[in-house]
């Protein structure tokens, strides 16, 4: 029922197959399916995580449906643009509210992510930890929506 449930379908297009099993979830890498545009009208809160994922897997993609991100806990478009730039990626605003994600071509040894007092900013940058060391400023911000986030993150086998 929640927009967040669409992440399974979106990640499938990005080459991450989700298989729900008793006691957990298994993620398997597969080929990236044809990517051109993601419409986030029904799930704008997922745009940050998808942008980070596209940036680190080298996928240039257009995003639409981001209008409401400017009026969330922070201006998430501005915040995302600032933090993506820290590892060489860009989210460029074009005409008709279409944004283009330009992926990173190189990766620093460490990236420090500012959260802007926004729980989604902290959680959205976790895919980046598969490529480099990530330091989240104000990690307690996740307590708003997912107090066990860091504990659950430690359980991942990466």
Domain boundaries, the chain: 3-154
Outline where DSSP puts E strands in 10-116. 16-21, 24-29, 37-39, 61-64, 90-93, 99-102, 110-113
Helix (H, G, I), strand (E, B) or coil at 105: coil
Q: By the 8 A CB rule, do 97 and 64 touch?
A: yes
pLDDT for 156? 78
pLDDT for 157? 64
Residues catalogued as catalytic: 45
The residue behind tokens 């897997």 is 57
Report which of 127, 142, 141 is spatially closest to residue 87, judged by C-alpha positions: 127
Q: Give the pLDDT confidence of 59-88 residue by residue, as tens digits.
A: 999 999 999 999 988 999 999 999 999 999
The topology (CATH level 3) of 3-154 is UDP-n-acetylglucosamine1-carboxyvinyl-transferase; Chain (3.65.10)
């Amino acid at each position: 029922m929640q927009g967040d449930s669409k992440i399974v379908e979106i990640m499938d297009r990005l080459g991450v197959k989700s298989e729900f099993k008793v006691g957990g979830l298994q993620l398997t890498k597969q080929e990236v399916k044809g990517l051109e545009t993601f419409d986030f009208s029904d799930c704008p809160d997922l745009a940050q995580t998808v942008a980070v994922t596209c940036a680190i897997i080298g996928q240039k993609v257009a995003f639409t449906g981001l209008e409401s991100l400017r009026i969330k806990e922070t201006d998430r478009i501005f915040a995302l643009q600032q933090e993506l730039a820290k590892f060489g990626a860009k989210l460029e605003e074009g005409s008709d509210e279409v944004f283009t994600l330009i992926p990173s071509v190189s990766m620093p040894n460490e990236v420090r992510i500012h959260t802007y007092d926004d729980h989604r900013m902290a959680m959205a940058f976790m895919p980046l930890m598969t490529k480099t060391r990530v330091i989240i400023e104000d990690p307690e911000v996740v307590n708003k929506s997912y107090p066990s986030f860091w504990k659950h993150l430690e359980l991942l086998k990466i």
